[in-house]
Amino acid sequence: MNVVVLVKYVPDPQGTPELDDAFLVVREGTEGALDPGDEYAVEAGLRLVETHGGEVTLLTMGPETASAALRKGLSMGAHAGVHVVDPALRGSDALATARVLAAAVRRRPFDLVLAGVESTDGSTGTVPMTVAQLLELPSATFARALSVEDGVLRIERPTDLGFDVVEAPLPALATVTGSAPEPRYPTLKGIMQAKQKPVERLALADLGLSAEALAPTQRVVGLTRAQERAAGEVIQAGEDTAKRIVDLLAEAKVL
């Protein structure tokens, strides 16, 4: 089976991304990495082709530096990469990104598209499902386990009480959570082979898309810092201790 994994190059996941004057994430001249969430999707894809045969192709859209994300995934064991890189794509919103990715996926036969749940920088969490919609694929989201049998994708989706089993006929799209099996570390051989693996570079024209069709439909108009977590309340032992605790629990709607 042919698995396409959508991957993203994000600024250092441990740090706080910087924003420019237009509220766009600064991507040039910063340290970055393959989004750690996407590594789970790569791992899931590798496991599926190890069982069923086939290839894992990584697909990314991003500036030149984004090739580092492909290289990381290739060193984990993915077979090929596709890099959509075009200056006109700078600042693309989630919908434009999904259009580009869908157009790139469509270019060759595939059975399954995998993605992380959301990126650690943009965090919209909307791109995978939009890609599924554009490709008219069923989407099975938030998988902690995936399997394929007789042309049917089956995932386990954690819920508050346990998990749902969701099935979809292939071709399909699934998003993979961080409770799926841990991503593997690249072996030395994997690292050394990564550079020899094929990476196709595509521009917008190759995808038959025009910059106008990708004009943003969303725009960030303002930015507010998240409130710092306030100090907790310490309740001293005394006569009204119990009452104060009960009041707080009621206030938090626990009682």
Q: Among 61, 135, 140, 194, which residue interacts with another protein (rule: CB under 8 A)?
A: 194
Instruction: Record the tokens describing residue 210, joined without a space.
Output: 């025009």
Neighbours of 33 (CB within 10 A): 18
- Over the window 128 to 167, marking each residue x when it contacts another protein by CB under 8 A and - when it does not, the resulting string is ----------------------------------------
CB of 71 to another protein, least distance (A): 7
Q: How many CA within 13 A on the CB side of residue 29?
A: 4
Residue 186 is a binding residue for another protein (CB under 8 A) = yes
Q: Among 188, 226, 230, 254, which residue interacts with another protein (rule: CB under 8 A)?
A: 188
> Measured from the CB atom, is 22 or 188 closer to another protein?
188
Residue 187 is a binding residue for another protein (CB under 8 A) = yes
Residue 195 is a binding residue for another protein (CB under 8 A) = yes
> What do you get for the CA distance between the two ends of the chain, in Å?
51
| Sign, Cα dihedral of 90, 94, 96, 97 | positive
Cβ(1)–Cβ(53) under 8 Å?
A: yes
Q: Determine the Cα–Cα distance for residues 174 and 167; give it in Å rounded to an integer.
A: 10
Residue 108 is a binding residue for another protein (CB under 8 A) = no
Q: DSSP code of 91?
A: T
Q: Among 185, 227, 234, 252, which residue interacts with another protein (rule: CB under 8 A)?
A: 185
CB of 192 to another protein, least distance (A): 6
Interacting positions 71-100 with another protein (CB under 8 A): 71-72, 75
Burial of 217 (0-12, 13-18, 19+ CB in 10 A): exposed
Neighbours of 161 (CB within 10 A): 6
Exposed e or buried b for every residue in 123-136, given b needs 16+ CB within 10 A? Answer: eeebbbbbbbebbe
Residue 15 is a binding residue for another protein (CB under 8 A) = no
CB of 194 to another protein, least distance (A): 7
Q: Kindly list the residues in this chain that would bind another protein in the complex (CB under 8 A).
A: 71-72, 75, 185-189, 191-192, 194-195
